[in-house]
Chain A
Amino acid sequence: MDAWDEQRLHFEREALPHAKSLLRTAWRLTQSLAAAEDLVQDTLLVAWRTFERYERGTDCKAWLFRIMLNGSSRRRSQAQRQDKLFTSLDEGDNFAAKAHRDGAPLSWEVEAMLKALPEEQRAVLLLAVVEGFTCREISEITNAPVGTVMSRLSRARAAMRDQLLPYEGWFPRQREKKAHGM
């Protein structure tokens, strides 16, 4: 086994297991599975080309997300074109109010609410809640100050909560409150 093979095996062990996480976040950012697959493929190939710069023992997942989000912002003009094709909700359009008002929202309804968030809020929310990164890690991944990350996270959660208001069943205490005639 030569140095190239060793490097490739190391890459297989360290980087490729994060492909699923990259893809599910990329899908929500680009709004298109085909675009997400392209973005993740490019991310992994950039990571492979620069893998010698990756410091063993550090957080490979965070490193890959940083590459992906950098690549994503380079594609911003393309993404803006795709926004015209794929984004679903106009500003101020109350998605949930048009949906059914009983019980918790369905998965695709939550996805639609997520889609309605501005991209930087959506990214921070996904990185924090789904991928489990801390605010400090997200700050490094997105090149934004920690305070900005926390503020985006708060605004994203507040926007999601607003969209969930018509769903009486999403939060157990709302159901309890209703049951007790409050």
Chain B
Amino acid sequence: MECREFEALEPAYPNLQSGPEQGTELAEHDKRRLEAHLLECSACARAYQMRIALDDLLRDAVVHREVKEDRVIAEVRTRIASQRPRNMQTPGRGRGRGWVLAWASAVVMGMLLLIAGAYLLQRPAPADLFTDAVADHFQEVTQHSPVEWTSDRVVMRKLLQDWVGDPAIADALTPPGFHLSRIRICELMNRNYLHLVYANGAQELSVFLRRRDGESFSGQGMQALHDNAAASAVYMARQGQIEVAGFQTPVVTVLFVGNVQKSALRRIAIHAADAL
């Protein structure tokens, strides 16, 4: 077998080690030829190993940022239940049973929605929340992806008023030497946040802000600091080159994200926590 033929056939082979029962699409004859080629061609063997490693990396990344389907399923169940045709209910006893079933379904549906709601509210998401915030900062601020922002002062004040009840919070959060540059609404861990960007001409810092609503900080990779005067503990974590600092007051949840020294972000977060 030539390397070119190997390269053409190889994508149809999910994993040579997994055997034909794991979705292999090639004929047994082709599989044997591919395996034989792997034994005699070190370049193709390395490319194949690299492909397996790449697949593992991708799979891990996607699974790492897992999604919760409960909300969709609950909505689909509700919509299906509402579509139940009336003529499916039979008269007399059957009709009575239909009503009982409908009520039972409604009660079960309500309980499921309550459980799902309680789960979403109580679900601790800190480590993933920090990761999500870093990803948003990297894509939207560092990489300048073309997302919609507003820099209009009036609109920004309106957004702050609507989302956290007090536009002055943005002033209290302003790092020394920075100014508020722009705002957009984003989503972190299934919850909406205001994404504020502060700039000082040389650097840009992200602040993710929302009215506190059940989310909490705890988990792996975070370090709590208690040396600020404010009651709010500041939590810090690092993702690659990017630092994250977060704290919560009784009213708001705040995350600072930036490609800055840990000590600098720590000072900024403590300053903001004290100011609030």
Contacts and interface: CB of A to CB of B under 8 A. Distances in A.
B147 interface: yes
B131 interface: yes
Given A41-B76, A87-B145, A129 B55 contact: yes
Interface string B9-36: 0011010000000011100000000000
B51 interface: yes
Nearest to B60: A107
Interface residues of A, number: 68
A160 B101 contact: no
B72 interface: yes
Interface in A62-108: 84-89, 93, 95, 98-100, 104-108
Contact of B72 (A32, A40, A135): A40
Contact of A88 (B53, B75, B139): B139
A113 to B, nearest CB: 9
Interface stretch (B82-90, B113-121, B193-201): B82-90
B73 A28 contact: no
A108 B239 contact: yes
A24 B64 CA distance: 11
Interface in B65-119: 65-67, 69, 71-73, 75-76, 79-80, 83-85, 88-90, 94, 101
Interface in A25-50: 27-28, 32-34, 36-37, 40-41, 44-45, 48
Which of A3, A40, A44, A108 has the most chain B CB atoms closer than 10 A to its own CB? A108
A112 B138 contact: yes
B49 interface: yes
A5 B90 CA distance: 13
> Which DSSP category, helix, strand, loop or mixed, fits chain B's interface?
helix
A107 B65 contact: yes
Contacts of B263: none
A170 B57 CA distance: 8
Interface residues of B, number: 60
B82 to A, nearest CB: 11
A166 to B, nearest CB: 12
B76 to A, nearest CB: 5
A43 to B, nearest CB: 9
Contacts of B131: 106-108
Contacts of B66: 24
Given A85-B147, A99-B241, A154-B7, A37 B90 contact: no
B65 A111 contact: yes
A133 B14 CA distance: 9
A37 B55 contact: no
Contacts of A105: 57
A29 to B, nearest CB: 12
A115 B139 CA distance: 10
Nearest to A83: B146
13 contacts: A11-B80, A19-B73, A23-B67, A88-B140, A109-B240, A130-B59, A132-B14, A134-B25, A136-B25, A154-B7, A161-B50, A164-B54, A173-B46
Interface of B: 7-8, 11-12, 14, 23-25, 46, 49-51, 53-55, 57-67, 69, 71-73, 75-76, 79-80, 83-85, 88-90, 94, 101, 131-132, 134-135, 138-140, 142-143, 145-148, 187, 190, 239-241
* The 3 nearest A-B residue pairs measured at CB: A110-B61, A88-B145, A108-B135
